[in-house]
């Protein structure tokens, strides 16, 4: 019997923000594999299923387990929060399959990534071109992270910062962006978007130092056109350059 893997993005956490396809993929699966926090977030969908929960930094174990169970004929849901492509499990799973030349039926199910959830809470900061930058140096060298942040700022992208787990590196990146954008550039800081304990702050780059950023936080820095209005961040698409508003 042929197995299958659904690589599922369950969104930011609350059931209403899951896609229909994500829910259906988990329901079709006999085995669900995921990081323990994501397993808890999907707990209402797991009755009667075999659940394989893993700790932080056990991503290779999760991917290999999903592949092995699919090769045994099981239908497996390998779950990530947000979207499985954006710092999730899809790239690792497919990379392993390519390296090992493993023919397993895989479908990636998209989800609402953290930057989209945070952006919705902030208003519309993602209204034009956006760069996603992961501030965790577990897999990417610090100098590469810093270089990408500076180049994104110089290119005037809106910048969404994920996983600010190292306070020193986070501060270095923020100050480097501030040198390009200036201390008045708007920044939105959202913690636990669409989860219990949610916090939403609209600040200026020069004000963000006193706010604790951690792996549950997304920071969105506006581009040169982003403005704030009534507590919201708004990045114009450019309609005012073409039409009379």
Q: Which domains does the chain have, with CATH numbers?
A: 4-112 (3.40.1010.10), 115-234 (3.30.950.10)
Specify whether the CB–CB gap between 157 and 223 falls below 8 A.
yes
The stretch 73-86 carries a mean pLDDT of 96
pLDDT at 147 over 80: yes
Token readout for 92 is 């690792």
Cα–chain center distance at 35: 15
pLDDT at 94 over 80: yes
> Which residues, 6 or more positions from 37, have their beta carbon under 8 angstroms from its beta carbon?
81
pLDDT at 120 over 80: yes
Strand pairing category for 105-109 and 4-9: parallel
Which is higher by pLDDT, 81 or 57? 81
Over pLDDT 90: what percentage of the chain?
Answer: 89
The stretch 20-35 carries a mean pLDDT of 97
Confidence grade of residue 1 (pLDDT, cut at 50, 70, 90): low
The stretch 14-41 carries a mean pLDDT of 95
Task: Find the helix or strand (DSSP H, E) in which 148 lies.
Answer: helix 142-154
Which is higher by pLDDT, 245 or 214? 214
Instruction: Please provide the average confidence, as pLDDT, over all residues in the chain.
Output: 95
Q: Work out the angle between the directed axes of helices 167-181 and 142-154 (0-180°, nearest 10).
A: 20
């Amino acid at each position: 019997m042929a197995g299958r893997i659904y690589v599922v993005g369950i969104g930011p956490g609350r059931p209403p923000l899951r896609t229909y396809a994500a829910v259906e993929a988990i329901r079709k699966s006999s085995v669900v594999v995921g990081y323990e926090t994501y397993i808890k977030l999907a707990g209402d969908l797991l009755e009667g299923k075999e659940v394989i929960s893993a700790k932080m930094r056990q991503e290779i174990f999760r991917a290999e387990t999903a592949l092995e169970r699919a090769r045994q004929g099981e239908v497996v849901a390998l779950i990530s929060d947000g979207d499985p492509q954006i710092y999730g499990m899809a790239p690792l799973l497919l990379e392993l399959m390519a390296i090992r030349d493993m023919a397993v039926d895989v479908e990636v199910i998209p989800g609402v990534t953290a930057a989209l959830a945070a952006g919705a809470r902030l208003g519309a900061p993602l209204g034009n071109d956006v760069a996603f930058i992961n501030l965790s140096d577990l897999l990417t060298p610090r100098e590469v992270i810093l270089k990408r942040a500076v180049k994104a700022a110089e290119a005037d992208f809106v910048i969404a910062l994920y996983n600010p787990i190292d306070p020193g590196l986070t501060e270095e990146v923020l100050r480097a962006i501030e040198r390009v954008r200036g201390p008045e550039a708007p920044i939105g800081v959202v913690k636990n978007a669409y989860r219990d304990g949610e916090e939403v702050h609209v600040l200026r780059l020069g004000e963000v130092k006193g706010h604790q950023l951690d792996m549950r936080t997304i920071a969105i820095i506006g581009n040169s056109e982003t403005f704030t209005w009534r507590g919201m961040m708004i990045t114009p698409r450019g309609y005012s350059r073409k039409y009379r508003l």
